Amino acid sequence: MASKRGALIVLEGVDRAGKTTQCNKLVQALIERGRPAEMMRFPDRSTTIGQLISAYLQKKSDLEDHTVHLLFSANRWELVPVMKKKLEQGITLVVDRYAFSGVAFTSAKPGFSLDWCMKPDEGLPKPDLVMFLQLNPAEAALRGQFGTERYETSAFQKAVHERFEQLMKDSSVNWKVIDASQNIEGVHNDIRTHSLNVFNEAQNTPLGELWR
């Protein structure tokens, strides 16, 4: 009998919402429960495309806005074969940012529609669950100042947040909003519960295609 596939779980949210902290904790919790799990993050700065993106984010290079959007998408597509293989092997992937960040960040720039921004990511492996870590700017500020990378300003992050709100209206995606203002363990408990709830369905349904 073919083995059951792993689940594809994505964490999204604005700057300093705790995505990386929570991805690590979820992977650890799943492994402790005997479920093979691995973390991935986008952008994946280790590839050639990822290095172009990293230089752009660090303001070491400038890229035209459409071009960098397509590079972020290409960075996801180049990892699709790896993702599919791991999922087929029964490994659950916990992903720190995905296509939703891609759309929210680019469409927050002037002159970009959500529709245009979604097109390049159409057909990516569809997450079984996308958790949005909700945190207001005042609470995020308590976690330290913005970094020095591109996009790390309060006005831009507010525009990004609005685009995420629009994306969350799409009922074809299994969104769950998490109150990220709780302490780390409180957020983790919510995330773990939602994640464990999607396992059965994920194991019994084929991997879908995003936005198709």
Interacting residues toward ligand Z5A by CB under 6 A? 13, 15-21, 42-43, 57, 72, 97, 101-102, 105, 143, 151-152, 183-184, 187
Nearer residue to ligand Z5A within complex by CB, 116 or 151: 151
Strands, E, within 44-116: which ranges? 92-96
The least CB distance from residue 81 to ligand Z5A, in Å, is 18
Nearer residue to ligand Z5A within complex by CB, 6 or 102: 102
Angle between helices 184-204 and 19-32 (to 10 degrees): 60
The least CB distance from residue 205 to ligand Z5A, in Å, is 25
C-beta separation of 6 from 89 below 8 A: yes
Under 8 Å CB-to-CB from 3, ≥6 apart: which residues?
89, 90
The least CB distance from residue 194 to ligand Z5A, in Å, is 16
Nearer residue to ligand Z5A within complex by CB, 89 or 166: 166
The least CB distance from residue 64 to ligand Z5A, in Å, is 14
Q: What is the C-alpha separation between 124 and 102, in angstroms, rounded?
A: 13
Nearer residue to ligand Z5A within complex by CB, 37 or 68: 68
Residue among 79, 98, 86, 89 nearest 9 (CA): 98
The least CB distance from residue 31 to ligand Z5A, in Å, is 19
Write the burial class of residue 153 (CB in 10 Å: 0-12 exposed, 13-18 middle, 19+ buried): exposed
Residue among 9, 16, 14 nearest 162 (CA): 14
What dihedral angle (degrees, nearest 10) is formed by the CA atoms of 61, 64, 68, 70? -150
Nearer residue to ligand Z5A within complex by CB, 72 or 199: 72
